[in-house]
């Protein structure tokens, strides 16, 4: 737990898993697998996805709930605030350019 969130997000498949959980939270491994296959055409073994989920769990981005013989994965977006906070000082940079653009358009209609 508490592993680097940025590293967890570095992998596209893991981001897709999070996206999937953001849309429909509380899904079993098999469901996530099937969804990745159909939507993104990924051909990954069940274990591959399972290991990705383990990484997400390490980063605290996901929690598991036992439900019968299924393990239901649920999104836990709190660690993403660290990314959001890190991003914060940079936001002024691209808002500055937008401001400059706006001003330019106002002065040159």
Residues that bind DNA (CB under 7 A): 7, 10-11, 13, 28-30, 43-48, 50-55, 64, 68-71
CB 48 within 8 A of CB 54: no
Which of a second copy, DNA, none is residue 6 near (CB under 5 to 8 Å by kind)? a second copy
| Using rule CB under 8 A, residue 100 touches a second copy | no
**Binding positions for a second copy, 39-58, rule CB under 8 A:** none
| Using rule CB under 8 A, residue 75 touches a second copy | yes
- Cα 41 from chain centroid (whole Å): 19
Q: Dihedrals φ, ψ of 74, to 5°?
A: -125, 145
Q: Which of 97, 29, 101 is nearest to 65 (CA)?
A: 29
Which of DNA, a second copy, none is residue 47 near (CB under 5 to 8 Å by kind)? DNA
Burial of 14 (0-12, 13-18, 19+ CB in 10 A): buried
Interacting residue ranges for a second copy, rule: CB under 8 A: 4, 6-7, 9-10, 12, 15, 18-19, 22, 75, 77-78, 80-81, 83-84, 86-87, 89-91, 93-94
């Amino acid at each position: 737990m508490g592993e680097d969130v940025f590293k967890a997000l570095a992998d596209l498949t893991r981001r897709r898993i999070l996206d999937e959980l953001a849309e429909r939270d509380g899904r079993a491994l098999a469901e996530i697998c099937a969804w990745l296959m159909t939507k993104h055409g990924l051909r990954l073994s069940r274990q591959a996805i399972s290991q990705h989920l383990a990484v997400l769990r390490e980063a605290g981005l996901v929690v598991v709930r036992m439900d019968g013989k299924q393990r239901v994965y649920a999104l836990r977006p709190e660690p993403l605030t660290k990314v959001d906070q890190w991003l914060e000082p940079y936001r002024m940079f691209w808002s500055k350019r937008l401001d400059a653009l706006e001003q330019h358009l106002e002065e040159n209609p």
